[in-house]
């Protein structure tokens, strides 16, 4: 058995070889239309599942929010879930991108996908014409909001669920419709939307623009850089630069990692946009910042399968403890956007460490997130041992990770090959595939580490084949039918977490292996349309009950399978590598705390993480103007003159509110109110130095009075002070 310290050590070794052996100079990835992923590829079932999934969706229902906002008669009712609670219309942009990718990659045998794509673009053009100002979005009652923002009231944006993020998805879908299928109308609508956006932001000074960028806005900088590349008009490049968030970007220019506590998928699309702006502007400073943040995330913040963050946020650098305990593991959207960033960096400088990360994330996270038996996509991939994942269902689920999940399979051919000019080819991934008319690759990777490249016509030039951590260079002249045979090491090894803990993943080559842990209580395995249906709420298996590995002994691999093959079950992909003595001591200590936590989980009916965008949105946050949020000692918080959330007891009659505070907070007095009834008066006096503590408040019968059965919990300060900080909120019940 080979022990790798971490992904950091492994990829830094790759980087050293790259400096010695990597081919220098910018390259271009082949367009999707030039690459064919073979029927024999292990990626093909996921492509077929994706085609089936998108065909289940009704274009008119996805278009409904756009027609509503344009004042046009609706043709169908909007979908529910995220499509009817403030993020209306965001899925259509992903849908356009998914259709465009599948069409371009040759996965539209009956032409139905192209027909739906063109129809949606036509309808968007009709909506844009009806709006009359270039606007084309489904943001509820957006006209009034956009007018207020244009007038300088940027605080209006914070009353809504990420409107610019929503707009970006539509713009990105139109861009892909143009770039992948040459739909001229898509380009026209896109450019019109860009001009509409500029019409709003041109009225904002830099301070107001930067304040607005404190809210998630997707990859607006990227799409404006793309439109500059499409049109050649410098106003779009100038606008791309205006969408750079200084509070986040400035530390990157100084090579400072200030990511801890930030919402991960808010930031990563910005970084992809930073790289794209660098690419079209020829800006080495931006390239350097994009490369720096890529290395920080990949080598210090990611797990073995390529994902990062916990509960959607970047955790502490020196501790992955929360990640290994939480039911909300790395988010698929993060990895989708990390691969977009990786593609740009590779095009600038084709280093093998970029390709190595791309490969591990593609196989172990993106491919593993598609259920091919019952087509659906995964939001969170828990690393907690013996937990499980939840899959979307077409008519019910419209999460962000459904959107990127639909996009991914059509992009599988995106990174396999690159070229520099006409006579220099890069083979980055061992995947059964072909560059149409030039060469075909046949491989049984990852079952073995070999591949064969056969030329379909005479070729004279250079072929770089990535054989693991380096590129092997073949120069010569090949006749039709002649071949290059390449191989790479596929050794078993353990990759430890970057925090120096005892947790490690078992890998063979770049492939993460896991073990099935049963199918008991897979609650919500196939998600319904509930607001938090993307989370695996089934019982957690106690930490002292999961399998560990004894350090120093030969690695046992019997019963392990590639993680991308494990579906609809509990699983383990991380083990503690420790001694039997240490584990015995730890299990004895865990037993008491595990029993208490098991009971707490059993009684938890609903929960909110204050200060985190998604759970606060899901629970109808309302707050005073002076309300603020932040991050401290591993948890997010919120305070303010007042703030409130709606929690669902799910039928429980005897309920309690559990609140978590920081032990050093003092001088704050506030009431805790349930449905208008004061259930506690709290005075924080700094009595729990250096630690979090919880208090539990009984919800009286007279507070269980809402017709819908839910409980509105409010924290309201006395004497003009601040309520909170609140670091956690649960509703317990029997």
Supply the pTM of this predicted model. Answer: 0.90
Instruction: Reply yes or no on whether the pLDDT at 74 is more than 70.
Output: yes
- CA dist 676 and 679 (Å) reads 9
Place of tokens 């229902």: 61
| Residue 466 pLDDT class (50, 70, 90 cuts) | very high
- CA dist 326 and 178 (Å) reads 41
pLDDT at 597: 81
| Residue 586 pLDDT class (50, 70, 90 cuts) | confident
End-to-end CA distance of the chain: 49
- CA dist 632 and 177 (Å) reads 43
Q: Which residues contact 1 (CB under 8 A, 6 or more apart)?
A: 492, 493, 494, 554, 555
pLDDT at 24: 61
- CA dist 89 and 69 (Å) reads 10
pLDDT at 592: 66
Contact 408, 366 (CB under 8 A): yes
Extract the tokens encoding 75: 């043709």
DSSP assignment of 628-696 equals EEEEETTEEEEEESEEEEEE--TT-SSEEEEEEEETT-EEEEEEEEETTEEEEEEEEES-STTSEEEEE
* Three-state DSSP class for residue 616: helix
Instruction: Reply yes or no on whether the pLDDT at 22 is more than 70.
Output: no
Question: Mind listing the pLDDT tens digit for each residue in 39-57?
Answer: 999 999 999 999 999 999 9
pLDDT at 23: 55
- CA dist 468 and 422 (Å) reads 25
pLDDT at 631: 86
Number of H helices, E strands in the chain: 20, 32
- What is the pLDDT averaged over residues 625-647? 92
Question: Mind listing the pLDDT tens digit for each residue in 664-683?
Answer: 899 999 999 999 999 999 99
Extract the tokens encoding 115: 């027909």
**Mean pLDDT, rounded, of the chain:** 94
Contact 640, 724 (CB under 8 A): yes
- CA dist 134 and 132 (Å) reads 6
Contact 721, 639 (CB under 8 A): no
Place of tokens 């499980």: 388
Determine the distance from the C-alpha atom of residue 260 to the mean position of all C-alpha atoms in its chain, rounded to a whole number. Answer: 16
Contact 142, 69 (CB under 8 A): yes
Place of tokens 């990659």: 105
Place of tokens 């069409």: 103
Contact 652, 733 (CB under 8 A): yes
- CA dist 456 and 703 (Å) reads 75
- What is the pLDDT averaged over residues 420-434? 97
pLDDT at 633: 81
Q: Which residues contact 318 (CB under 8 A, 6 or more apart)?
A: 499, 500
Other Cβ atoms within 10 Å of 691 Cβ, number: 9
Instruction: Reply yes or no on whether the pLDDT at 87 is more than 80.
Output: yes
Question: Mind listing the pLDDT tens digit for each residue in 334-371?
Answer: 999 999 999 999 999 999 999 999 999 999 999 999 99
Place of tokens 């609650």: 523
Query: Positive or negative, the Cα torsion across 666, 670, 674, 677?
Result: positive
pLDDT at 339: 98
pLDDT at 579: 86
* Three-state DSSP class for residue 426: strand
Question: Mind listing the pLDDT tens digit for each residue in 279-331?
Answer: 999 999 999 999 999 999 999 999 999 999 998 999 999 999 999 999 999 99
Of 63, 333, 391, 305, give the one whose Cα is nearest residue 216: 333
Domains and their CATH numbers in the chain: 42-354 (1.50.10), 419-487 (no CATH), 606-733 (2.60.120.260)
Instruction: Reply yes or no on whether the pLDDT at 4 is more than 70.
Output: no
Instruction: Reply yes or no on whether the pLDDT at 616 is more than 80.
Output: yes
Question: Mind listing the pLDDT tens digit for each residue in 162-217?
Answer: 999 999 999 999 999 999 999 999 999 999 999 999 999 999 999 999 999 999 99
Contact 216, 263 (CB under 8 A): yes
Of 332, 355, 169, 360, give the one whose Cα is nearest residue 264: 332
Contact 670, 715 (CB under 8 A): yes
pLDDT at 685: 92
**What are residue 648's phi and psi, to 5 degrees?**
-115, 115
Q: What percent of the chain has pLDDT over 90?
A: 88
DSSP assignment of 379-413 equals SB---STTB---B--TTT---HHHHHHHHTGGGTT
Place of tokens 């409904």: 64
């Amino acid at each position: 058995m080979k022990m790798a310290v971490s992904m950091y050590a492994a990829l830094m070794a790759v980087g050293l070889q790259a400096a010695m052996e990597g081919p220098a100079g910018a390259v271009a990835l082949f367009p999707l239309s030039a690459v064919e992923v073979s029927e024999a590829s292990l990626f093909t079932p996921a492509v077929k599942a994706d085609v089936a999934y998108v065909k289940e969706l009704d274009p008119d229902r996805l278009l409904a929010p756009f027609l509503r906002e344009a004042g046009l008669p609706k043709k169908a009712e909007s979908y529910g879930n995220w499509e009817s609670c403030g993020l209306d219309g965001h899925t259509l942009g992903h849908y356009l991108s998914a259709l465009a990718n599948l069409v371009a990659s040759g996965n539209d045998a009956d032409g139905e996908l192209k027909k739906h794509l063109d129809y949606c673009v036509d309808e968007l053009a009709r909506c844009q014409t009806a709006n009359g100002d270039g606007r084309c979005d489904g943001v509820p009652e957006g006209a009034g909001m956009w007018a207020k923002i244009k007038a300088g009231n940027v605080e209006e944006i914070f009353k809504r669920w990420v409107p610019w993020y929503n707009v970006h998805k539509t713009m990105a879908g139109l861009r892909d419709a143009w770039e992948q299928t040459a739909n001229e109308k898509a380009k026209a609508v896109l450019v019109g939307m860009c001009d509409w956006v500029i019409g709003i932001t041109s009225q904002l000074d830099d301070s107001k623009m930067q304040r607005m960028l404190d809210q998630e806005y997707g990859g607006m900088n990227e799409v404006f850089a793309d439109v500059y590349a499409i049109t050649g008009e410098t106003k779009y490049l100038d606008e791309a630069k205006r969408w750079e968030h200084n509070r986040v970007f400035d530390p990157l220019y100084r090579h400072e990692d200030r990511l801890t506590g930030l919402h991960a998928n808010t930031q990563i699309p910005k970084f992809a946009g930073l790289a794209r702006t660098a690419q079209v502007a020829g800006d080495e400073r931006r390239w350097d910042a994009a490369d720096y943040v890529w290395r920080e995330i990949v080598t210090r913040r990611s797990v073995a399968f390529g994902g990062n963050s916990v509960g959607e946020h970047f955790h502490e650098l020196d501790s992955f403890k929360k990640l290994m305990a939480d039911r909300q593991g790395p988010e698929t959207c993060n990895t989708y956007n990390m691969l977009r960033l990786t593609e740009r960096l590779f095009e600038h400088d084709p280093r093998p460490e970029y390709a190595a990360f791309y490969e591990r994330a593609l196989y172990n996270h993106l491919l593993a997130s598609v259920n091919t038996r019952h087509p659906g996509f995964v939001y969170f991939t828990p690393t907690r041992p013996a937990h499980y994942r939840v899959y979307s269902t077409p008519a019910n689920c419209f999460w962000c990770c459904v959107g990127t999940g639909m996009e991914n399979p059509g992009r599988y051919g995106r990174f396999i090959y690159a070229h520099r000019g006409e006579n220099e080819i890069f083979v980055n991934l061992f995947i059964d595939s072909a560059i149409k008319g030039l060469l075909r690759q046949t491989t049984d990777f990852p079952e073995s580490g070999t591949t064969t490249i056969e030329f379909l016509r005479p070729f004279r030039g250079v072929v770089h084949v990535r054989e693991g951590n380096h590129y092997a260079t073949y120069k010569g002249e090949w006749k039709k039918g002649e071949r290059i045979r390449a191989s790479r090491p596929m050794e078993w090894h353990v990759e430890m977490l970057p925090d120096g803990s005892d947790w490690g993943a078992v890998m063979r080559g770049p492939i993460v292996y896991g073990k099935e842990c049963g199918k008991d209580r897979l609650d919500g395995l196939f998600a319904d349309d509930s607001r938090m249906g993307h989370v695996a709420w089934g019982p957690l298996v106690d930490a002292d009950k999961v399998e560990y590995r004894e350090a120093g002994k030969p690695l046992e691999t019997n019963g392990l399978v590639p993680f991308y093959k494990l579906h609809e079950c509990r699983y383990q992909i991380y083990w503690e590598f420790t001694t039997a003595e240490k584990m015995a001591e730890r299990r004895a200590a865990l037993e008491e705390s595990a029993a208490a936590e098991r009971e707490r989980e059993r009684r938890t009916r609903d929960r909110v993480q204050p200060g985190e965008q998604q759970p606060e949105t899901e629970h109808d946050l309302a707050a005073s103007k002076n309300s603020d949020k932040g991050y401290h000692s591993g948890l997010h918080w919120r305070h303010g003159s007042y703030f409130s959330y709606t929690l669902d007891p799910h039928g429980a009659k005897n309920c309690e509110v559990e609140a978590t505070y920081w032990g050093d907070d003092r001088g704050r007095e506030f009431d805790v109110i349930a449905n208008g009834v004061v259930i506690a008066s709290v005075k924080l006096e700094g009595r729990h130095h250096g630690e979090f503590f919880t208090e539990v408040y009984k919800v009286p019968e007279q507070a269980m009075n809402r017709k819908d059965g839910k409980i509105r919990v409010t924290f309201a300060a006395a004497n003009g002070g601040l309520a909170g900080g609140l670091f956690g909120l649960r509703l317990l019940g029997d």
